[in-house]
Amino acid sequence: MTKARVPEGAEPHPDHEGWYWWGGWRDPDSFAAQIGLMLYRPGEDERTGVVRMFPEERHLNPGGSIHGGCVMSFIDMALFAGAFCAGMERAHYVTLDCHTRFLNRGRAGKPLDAHVTLLRQTPGGIVFLTGHVEQDGAPCYAFTGSLKRVRDPRQKGDDDRK
pLDDT digits 0-9 by tens, 115-143: 999 999 999 999 999 999 999 999 999 99
Q: Return the pLDDT at 159.
A: 55
Q: Indicate whether 44 belongs to any domain.
A: yes
User: 103: domain CATH number?
Assistant: 3.10.129.10
Q: Do 17 and 8 meet the contact criterion of CB atoms below 8 Å apart?
A: no
End-to-end CA distance of the chain: 41
3 state DSSP class of 3: helix
Give how many domains the chain has, as a whole number. 1
Confidence (pTM): 0.89
Q: Indicate whether 1 belongs to any domain.
A: no
Q: Indicate whether 56 belongs to any domain.
A: yes
Give the number of other CB atoms < 10 A from CB of residue 63.
Answer: 7
Q: Range of 68's domain?
A: 35-150
pLDDT tens for 22-60 read 876 667 888 888 899 999 999 999 999 999 999 999 999
Collect all residues with Cβ–Cβ distance below 8 Å to 85 and sequence separation of at least 6: 5, 6, 7, 40, 41, 42, 43, 48, 49, 50, 51, 116
Percent of the chain whose pLDDT exceeds 90: 74
Collect all residues with Cβ–Cβ distance below 8 Å to 59 and sequence separation of at least 6: 36, 66, 67, 70, 108
Average pLDDT along the chain: 90
Q: Indicate whether 72 belongs to any domain.
A: yes
Q: Indicate whether 6 belongs to any domain.
A: no
Q: Which helix (H) or strand (E) holds 74?
A: helix 68-85
Q: What's the angle, vertex CA 89, arms to CA 84 and CA 93, rounded to 5?
A: 80
Q: Return the pLDDT at 29.
A: 82
Q: Indicate whether 26 belongs to any domain.
A: no
Q: Indicate whether 108 belongs to any domain.
A: yes
Q: Indicate whether 13 belongs to any domain.
A: no
